[in-house]
Amino acid sequence: MQKVPELSLKSYTHGSGEARMAFVHQLFAGLKEYGFVILKDHPVQVDLLRKAYLLSEQLFSLPRDVKEGYVSQAGGGQRGYTAFGKEHAKNSSLPDLKEFWHVGRDLPKDHALKKFFPDNIWPAELESFEPVFKQIFQALDDTGRIMLEALTIPLEVDREYFKRMTDTGSSVLRMLHYPPIAEGTTPGALRAAAHEDINLITLLVSASSSGLELLTRDGKWLPIDASPDTIIVDSGDMLARITNEVLPATTHRVVNPNGPNVSRYSMPYFLHPNPDAVLSCIPSCRGAGEKYPPILANEFLMQRLREIGLTK
């Protein structure tokens, strides 16, 4: 039976040389074969995650008009609230059955890249929301960069390659709420239709209930079951692009509940490059030739946000 590999991050951060290399090879193989790995022994505090999920439930329980008052005027859904049914998968005509809230990186007003980073929006009704989600954002950002550093070995780039590319990345932490499926929902509409992530890698704190599935390389849907104290990691389109599809982005979806029709909450962290980073093919991945021309990370991001209905 196929199963997404489960890896211990401590074997890379605190293990012997042999343990570190074993982690590197298992990570690379897992992303190549499945596009996903499950990460245990990570530095994100479980108690902090529990607080975050409680706050997420409280956030989405706020009245609709209150939530809609937190829609960002900056556009693109990059900060604050995005209403139910706004986003759809690329090439899908049906909206996803979800609402969400984005927290992004804070940059000083005088930073050279500030124009790419709208100010965060914090709900006044939830006093601890800002400190909790700032802490989780930083913890997941640090964890994601460790994962990318491990990939520099098989990709044959220098150890600082991804650090330079992501030190002011346009990364976002998304709080997701999939409400119970309402009567009269359009047939075929899913909580999240089949899609690939836009970014380099995604770190998904294990959700409140099942429903996540990946499309295997032989075209079958495989449910991903992970314990609540693990992080699910998957590779996105940007990583696929710079590796010339050596590490493909894997199609995945969130299906509607088969059991009790209850809310589902999840919390993915989308790790992005700096907006002015150039996404170009890594030399060791060129093979018979580059499949994609170089493109600025922000240009690629805006292109994809248009395709999924978040900006015009």
CB atoms within 10 A of CB 183: 5
Tokens of 10: 């401590």
Between 206 and 9, where is the model more confident? 9
Task: Tell me the β-bridge partners of 40.
Answer: 8
73 pLDDT band, cuts 50/70/90, is confident
Topology of the domain covering 6-307: Jelly Rolls (2.60.120)
Three-class SS state of 19: helix
How many other CB atoms sit within 10 Å of the CB of residue 60?
20
Determine contact, residues 122/130, Cβ cutoff 8 Å.
Answer: yes
Give the model confidence (pLDDT) of 112-122 as tens digits. 999 999 999 99
Interstrand relation of 212-215 and 221-223 (parallel, antiparallel or unpaired): antiparallel
Q: Helices in the chain by DSSP H: which ranges?
A: 10-13, 17-33, 46-60, 64-68, 129-155, 161-166, 237-242, 297-307
How far apart are alpha carbons 301 and 312 in whole angstroms?
Answer: 12
Checking if the pLDDT of 1 tops 60, the result is no
What phi-psi label fits residue 96: left (phi over 0), alpha (psi between -120 and 50 degrees) or beta? beta
The proportion of the chain whose per-residue pLDDT surpasses 70, expressed as a percent, equals 99
Q: Contact, 311 vs 305, CB < 8 A?
A: yes
Cα(101)–Cα(250) distance, integer angstroms: 24
% of the chain residues with pLDDT over 90: 84
Pick from 270, 274, 197, 282: which is nearest to 246 by CA?
Answer: 282
pTM of the model: 0.95
Residue with tokens 């909206």: 95
**Domain locations along the chain:** 6-307
d(CA 91, CA 276): 27
* pLDDT tens-digit readout, 246-284: 999 999 999 999 888 999 999 999 999 999 999 999 999
pLDDT greater than 90 at residue 209: no
